[in-house]
A and B are shown apart, each in its own frame.
Chain A
Amino acid sequence: MITTPPIAEPRLRLRGICKHFGPVQALREVSLEIRAGRVHAICGENGAGKSTLMKVLAGVHRPDRGSIELDGRPVRFATPSAALHAGITMIYQELDLAQDLSVAENVHLGAEPGGRIALTVDRRQMLERTRDLALSYGFSINVAAKVADLSAGDCQIVEILKALRRRAAVIVMDEPTSSLGEQEARRLLAAVRRLVGEGLAVLYISHRLEEVMSVADDITVLRDGCVVQSGPRSTLDTGAIVRYMVGRELAEHFPPRRSRPGPVRVQISRLASSEGVSEVTFNVRAGEIVGIAGLLGSGRTRLARALFGISHRSGGEIKVDGRLLHVDSPTAAIAAGIALLTEDRKRTGLWLELPAFWNITLPNQRQLGMRRFVRAARELTVARSLGERLNIKWSSPQARAGSLSGGNQQKLLIARWLLADSRFLIFDEPTRGIDVGARREIYEVLDDLACEGKAILVISSDLTELFGIADRIFVMRRGRMVGELATAESAPEDVMRLAAA
């Protein structure tokens, strides 16, 4: 028999946590052990209870039953600040940093070192302390820089520094890499490993399984509020995790591609925009899915904005079906048959307070034969049938869009563009923050659209995704196209070589 090294008492232990909201049981008997010096990943589809669990730990929700122990002592968090004082720090998906303050000021917010005169702040000391803190954990960051000028990855580092300044024992991170490019994500994961190297415990919530496999020591899978599997990473592989998450076998993440590219539908030549896109030339065939890869800030979203008439086009041509288009606003773009699914569905996509079916039909009144007046019955029928086609899970089409899960919200937007019957569809990060099951459904819709002869452009930071669904991949760097790859004959490494060169 092999003797395993003794494992210390867990830093944080949850026992039998239950939490319900009305009739919905969000957590059932959840028990977990989080150890110092280890990254513990929580996986689960949207609605599996990850966020509720996190909010229980943060003192936002009080559990109905169950106990929490910190270093063996039972604790109860009545408020978020109680959890914070006990040493548990949350880093939420939407970071809460003061944009106009410096890194050091953010790190010391609420605990600024006092100066010699009462009520003043000793700036120099604040900068020095922040610099020392960053250095001791091996982070390189300009502590005097304004947060607004930092990259998304650096903002995550600032949040981590904030937690370290508070001497956090446990750091909980919610989808920390969702807004990061490949390189920045890798840097952040290295930072997380350094934190546990210094003896912290990290609870890591993520949809990206490859990332979880590379960073986690222990993995717990939640489904419908229950722990369905928990154990060291070595005992699990990606396939097993997916199986536990969805409760059914997903042979592959990606459906087989059925469409065959036809004649060229979209021709972009020497496109340039006021936002710094230049000399972009490419084409998309009917029934073809073309991927756009690139690091964060490489100009992928700016290209989409230029094609959709949001930014000013300073040069070049956009031709669809051989006709030259003058796209100077989203209204003109939509009228010309171009659709854009934006990367930030909450900010630029949905009307969260409004009924779900409005989100599908509101911009498509013409397609529904409604000129000045609306016909709610017709809208509902159309929304229902699109809901069925896309497998949208809603209590009813009249439910607030904001009450739907992330995947279903994304499907609302896809339904909108299906209804618009656009010829050229641009999808910017179509599966960001969406669980595995809904992801596959979205890929199937993309393939369906391609089969109907649409020209499709998919922008994604997830290279596996691009290789899984695209026929060709263009790589962008500094606002320009720097390469074209046929997915059948290349590998993600080839993309990275072009993108990062």
Chain B
Amino acid sequence: MRKLTRQLLPFGSLLLLVIALALLEPERFLTMDNLLNVLRRSSVNAILAVGMTWVIISAGIDLSVGSTLAVASMAGAWTLHQLSNTTAAVQGPEAGFLSVQVALIGTFAGGLVGVVCGLVNGALVTRLKLPPFIVTLGTMSAFRGLAYVMNDGQPYNVPGYTFLGGGSLAGVPVSILVAVGFILLGSWALNHTRLGRHVYAIGSNREASFHAGIDIGGSLTAVYAWCGLCVGAAAMIATSRTVSAQPTAGISLELDIIAAVVIGGASLAGGRGTIAGAIVGTLLIGFLRNGCTLLGISTNVQLIVIGVIIIAAAALDRAARSAAAAHGGGAE
């Protein structure tokens, strides 16, 4: 019962926020355009939150997602650039046109680079046995530098690469569909695969997992690679949305993502968290931003509001847990 209320807390807050905004700004908030806009903007963060949830449940952290996003975005855009140049030479210059194959290959390249970045994190964490915080603090800087180096600090423009970020299928934005796909896959795999179980086990008690013969190194490597894949996919959506790859993309994005996952009830100590919670956390931040904008609250003040929400969420969660502990602590 108490456990349920605790899990419903973030969801309830989201609901309250949406109702409040609907009452305060009915004409502008409750439009299909505005709601789809919030969801579309949240789709990148939602995909990142899926990967981050896995990492956090394993008692890890990935500070490098913002930098990885820039690297993957630049690499994907570079691929698109190279391929469209060669195809343009063959087919003659057709501004703003990308063939489906080229777009697919570019997207695939961005995802692959994300996975490689994740594998680097995973290898450093498991092989060198370094704390994930330190490893990803390092790669956060290194990957950011790499993103700058790739085109000398200049962005790549990819005209024509619009489907992922701006396209729709049956009236639903493609970015939202991709996000839903990652959410379903990530959530299903966490609950129904051996790897998912092992991630919870390692995060809950690493020593016990070792003594139970669980392949800790392999599992963690897979977790960081999966997080990298999520980042790669998010990167290509972000690239497509602005039709360009910026080496400065995603600066301090990791903090937003970690905040969303924590608001959703995951524990930074590991072993606890759900994808659903993380998505609710992401939407909470998304709607909060949207609401502030509609109500004319400046982006500067938004930062303060979000900061307060993060701390309040953690405080409520803690209060609920200690109440539960006092409740159940009697029977030894």
Kindly state the separation between the CA atoms of A352 and B205 in the bound complex, as whole angstroms. 8
The residue in chain A whose Cβ has the minimal distance to the Cβ of B272 is A353
The residue in chain A whose Cβ has the minimal distance to the Cβ of B198 is A362
Kindly state the separation between the CA atoms of A406 and B332 in the bound complex, as whole angstroms. 8
If A331-B213, A342-B211, A372-B193 touch, whether A352 touches B330 (CB-CB below 8 Å) is no
The residue in chain A whose Cβ has the minimal distance to the Cβ of B215 is A331
The residue in chain A whose Cβ has the minimal distance to the Cβ of B1 is A22
B213 with A334: CB separation less than 8 A: yes
Mask: chain B, 95-109; 1 = CB below 8 Å from A; 0 = not: 000000000000000
Give residues of chain B (268-290) contacting chain A, Cβ–Cβ below 8 Å: 271-272
B331 with A21: CB separation less than 8 A: yes
B194 with A374: CB separation less than 8 A: yes
Is A349 located at the chain interface by the 8 A CB criterion? yes
Interface majority SS (helix, strand, loop, mixed), chain B: helix
Interface centre among B205, B210, B326 (most CB of A within 10 A): B205
Is B329 located at the chain interface by the 8 A CB criterion? yes
Give residues of chain B (186-203) contacting chain A, Cβ–Cβ below 8 Å: 192-198, 200-201
Residues of B near A365 (CB, < 8 A) are 194, 197
Interface centre among A335, A350, A351, A363 (most CB of B within 10 A): A351
B208 with A348: CB separation less than 8 A: yes
The residue in chain B whose Cβ has the minimal distance to the Cβ of A51 is B332
* Distance (whole angstroms) from the CB of B57 to the closest CB of chain A: 11
* Distance (whole angstroms) from the CB of B145 to the closest CB of chain A: 37
Is B328 located at the chain interface by the 8 A CB criterion? yes
If A21-B331, A333-B213, A406-B332 touch, whether A358 touches B192 (CB-CB below 8 Å) is no
B330 with A362: CB separation less than 8 A: no
A330 with B197: CB separation less than 8 A: no
* Distance (whole angstroms) from the CB of B250 to the closest CB of chain A: 32
Kindly state the separation between the CA atoms of A329 and B210 in the bound complex, as whole angstroms. 9
Kindly state the separation between the CA atoms of A374 and B200 in the bound complex, as whole angstroms. 14
Residues of B near A374 (CB, < 8 A) are 192-194, 196-197
* Distance (whole angstroms) from the CB of B293 to the closest CB of chain A: 39
B201 with A351: CB separation less than 8 A: yes
B332 with A352: CB separation less than 8 A: no
Mask: chain A, 304-337; 1 = CB below 8 Å from B; 0 = not: 0000101000000000000000000111011100
Is B212 located at the chain interface by the 8 A CB criterion? yes
Give residues of chain B (305-321) contacting chain A, Cβ–Cβ below 8 Å: none
* Distance (whole angstroms) from the CB of A293 to the closest CB of chain B: 23
Kindly state the separation between the CA atoms of A350 and B209 in the bound complex, as whole angstroms. 8
Residues of A near B210 (CB, < 8 A) are 330, 348
If A19-B330, A21-B331, A405-B332 touch, whether A351 touches B204 (CB-CB below 8 Å) is yes
Residues of B near A49 (CB, < 8 A) are 330
Q: Give the residue of B192, B205, B215, B330 whose beta carbon is less than 8 angstroms from that of A351.
A: B205
Residues of A near B83 (CB, < 8 A) are none
If A365-B194, A374-B193 touch, whether A353 touches B330 (CB-CB below 8 Å) is no
Is A24 located at the chain interface by the 8 A CB criterion? yes
A47 with B197: CB separation less than 8 A: no
Is B127 located at the chain interface by the 8 A CB criterion? no
B193 with A373: CB separation less than 8 A: yes
* Distance (whole angstroms) from the CB of A424 to the closest CB of chain B: 14
Kindly state the separation between the CA atoms of A420 and B95 in the bound complex, as whole angstroms. 64
Residues of B near A330 (CB, < 8 A) are 210-213
* Distance (whole angstroms) from the CB of A284 to the closest CB of chain B: 21
If A351-B208, A365-B194 touch, whether A405 touches B331 (CB-CB below 8 Å) is yes
Is A50 located at the chain interface by the 8 A CB criterion? yes
The residue in chain A whose Cβ has the minimal distance to the Cβ of B269 is A353
* Distance (whole angstroms) from the CB of A73 to the closest CB of chain B: 27
* Distance (whole angstroms) from the CB of B322 to the closest CB of chain A: 12
Is A416 located at the chain interface by the 8 A CB criterion? yes
A362 with B331: CB separation less than 8 A: no
Query: What's the interface size class on A, roughly?
Result: 35 or more
Is A389 located at the chain interface by the 8 A CB criterion? no
Query: What's the interface size class on B, roughly?
Result: 20 to 34
Kindly state the separation between the CA atoms of A406 and B328 in the bound complex, as whole angstroms. 14
Kindly state the separation between the CA atoms of A416 and B207 in the bound complex, as whole angstroms. 16
* Distance (whole angstroms) from the CB of A245 to the closest CB of chain B: 14
Residues of B near A52 (CB, < 8 A) are 330
Is A497 located at the chain interface by the 8 A CB criterion? no
Give residues of chain A (335-382) contacting chain B, Cβ–Cβ below 8 Å: 335, 340, 342, 347-354, 358, 362-363, 365, 370-374
Q: Give the residue of A26, A310, A363, A373 whose beta carbon is less than 8 angstroms from that of B331.
A: A26
A373 with B215: CB separation less than 8 A: no
Mask: chain A, 7-50; 1 = CB below 8 Å from B; 0 = not: 00000000000011110101000000000000000000011011
* Distance (whole angstroms) from the CB of A409 to the closest CB of chain B: 10
A21 with B327: CB separation less than 8 A: yes
Is B214 located at the chain interface by the 8 A CB criterion? yes
Kindly state the separation between the CA atoms of A19 and B327 in the bound complex, as whole angstroms. 11
Is A403 located at the chain interface by the 8 A CB criterion? yes
Residues of B near A351 (CB, < 8 A) are 200-201, 204-205, 208-209, 271
* Distance (whole angstroms) from the CB of B274 to the closest CB of chain A: 13
Give residues of chain B (155-210) contacting chain A, Cβ–Cβ below 8 Å: 192-198, 200-201, 204-205, 207-210
Residues of A near B271 (CB, < 8 A) are 351, 353-354
If A51-B332, A52-B330, A373-B194 touch, whether A416 touches B212 (CB-CB below 8 Å) is yes
Q: Give the residue of B193, B205, B326 whose beta carbon is less than 8 angstroms from that of A350.
A: B205
A354 with B200: CB separation less than 8 A: yes
Residues of B near A50 (CB, < 8 A) are 332
A373 with B328: CB separation less than 8 A: no
Residues of A near B201 (CB, < 8 A) are 351, 354, 358, 362
Residues of A near B329 (CB, < 8 A) are 21
A340 with B272: CB separation less than 8 A: no
Kindly state the separation between the CA atoms of A52 and B215 in the bound complex, as whole angstroms. 39
B208 with A350: CB separation less than 8 A: yes
Kindly state the separation between the CA atoms of A371 and B193 in the bound complex, as whole angstroms. 9
Kindly state the separation between the CA atoms of A474 and B196 in the bound complex, as whole angstroms. 42
Give residues of chain A (248-285) contacting chain B, Cβ–Cβ below 8 Å: none
B213 with A363: CB separation less than 8 A: yes
B204 with A363: CB separation less than 8 A: no
Residues of B near A21 (CB, < 8 A) are 326-331
Mask: chain A, 191-228; 1 = CB below 8 Å from B; 0 = not: 00000000000000000000000000000000000000
B residues apposed to A, CB below 8 Å: 192-198, 200-201, 204-205, 207-215, 271-272, 326-332
A residues apposed to B, CB below 8 Å: 19-22, 24, 26, 46-47, 49-52, 61, 308, 310, 329-331, 333-335, 340, 342, 347-354, 358, 362-363, 365, 370-374, 403, 405-406, 416
What are 15 inter-chain pairs, A to B, with CB distance below 8 A?
A21-B327, A21-B329, A49-B330, A61-B326, A330-B210, A333-B213, A335-B213, A347-B207, A348-B211, A352-B205, A362-B197, A362-B198, A362-B214, A373-B194, A403-B328
**Given A26-B331, A365-B197: 10 more A-B contacts, CB < 8 Å:** A21-B328, A52-B330, A333-B213, A349-B208, A349-B211, A351-B201, A353-B271, A354-B201, A358-B201, A365-B194
